Amino acid sequence: MPDEPSQPTARRLRKSTAVTLAAAAGYVIAWGVAVAGIGVMNAERAAVAMSRFGNATAEDLAHLALDPLLRGDRIELGLLTNRLAARPEIRRIAIHTADERPFVVVGAAPATAPTYVRPVAAGDTVAGEVSIALDPASFAVSSSFVLAESWEFAFAGLALTVFLFYLGSRLGSPEL
């Protein structure tokens, strides 16, 4: 038997080291899930805010544009759209007549920009339509702001990790 090559044995970690590594891995995983969750919640919050703003602004502009559009008053519509287009959330505003000709166009936006369209209508008669293209970046909350808002959770996770490290290091001690 002594001449047989010995089988390599698997190297085992001490129990305290294993617990410490498990605690560290758990914290890293929990932190990753939290950051991913914050990102998803931030994106959803931004999409909802952008949708509300776009729908409300387009609806208001369609209501305010009715009389000047019926009168053919480009100056009044130009003043109204320029005032709205000065907002950082708005990239482009266009008001078209009933025959789809551009009447007033302010700003520029890529074709992929989220656009909200509403008819300009008096009763059942459509006088034209308004379209508002928004800048999605204006509605996103910065990650640093979101992380600053959730510092308590990060601190609690860190405190739990420190406690688990301490517990793991004391596992092999006779005093515990």
Half-sphere exposure of 124 (CA within 13 A, CB side): 0
Q: Comparing 43-47, 64-68, 145-149, which segment has the lowest mean pLDDT?
A: 145-149
Q: Which residue has the tokens 């308590």?
A: 152
| 137's tokens | 């970046």
pLDDT for 8 equals 57
Query: What is the side-by-side strand order in the sheet with 115-122?
Result: 102-107, 90-97, 125-134, 115-122
| Mean pLDDT across 124-133 | 93
Give the pLDDT mean for 147-157.
69
Question: Residues of the chain with pLDDT > 90: what percent?
Answer: 44
Q: How far apart are CA 176 and CA 166, in angstroms?
A: 11
Summarize pLDDT for 5-55 with one digit per residue, the tens.
Answer: 556 555 665 666 777 777 777 777 777 777 777 777 778 888 999 999 999
Closest CA to 38 of 129, 113, 149, 114: 149
Looking at residue 176, its pLDDT comes to: 46
Binned at pLDDT 50, 70 and 90, residue 162 comes out as confident
The conformation of residue 53, written as its DSSP 8-state character, comes to H
Q: Is the pLDDT of residue 164 over 80?
A: no
pLDDT at 114 over 50: yes
pLDDT of residue 104: 94
Would you say 114 and 132 are in contact if contact means Cβ atoms under 8 Å apart? no
Cα–Cα distance list, 49 to 38, 88, 123 (Å): 16, 14, 29
> Rounded distance, CA 172 to CA 176, Å?
8
